[in-house]
Amino acid sequence: MDDPNVMIVTYEELKQDLSDGVRQISTFFGFSLTEAQVQQIAEGSTFSAMKENNTNMVTGNIVFRKGEVGDWKNHFTPEQS
């Protein structure tokens, strides 16, 4: 947690404010983005945008589910959770 080379980002944080998450990630990697670039990345990184454009993904093994916070609880037993 205290390693300056590690950044922890949760899906819930990105779901809450994707543009801010893009800004934080770009700062962590040392990139300087304009607000227009942040918005373009955020718009292209939404669950619905990626689901619509999955033919442009590098790997062919991407599975899109609901993209809802907490949906994992529907797929794991209490023991797995």
For 36-71, how does the pLDDT look when each residue is reduced to its tens digit (9 = 90+)? 999 999 998 887 787 776 655 555 555 556 666 677
The mean pLDDT value for 13-36 works out to 95
* Per-residue model confidence (pLDDT) at position 50: 74
pLDDT at position 19, please? 96
pLDDT at 8: 94
Its pTM surpasses 0.85: no
Measured CA to CA, the distance from residue 43 to residue 58 in angstroms comes to: 18
∠ CA 73-16-29, nearest 5°, is: 105
Distance CA 53, CA 38 (A): 19
Dist CA 65 CA 47 (whole Å): 9
Task: Identify the pLDDT of residue 30.
Answer: 96
pLDDT of residue 59: 52
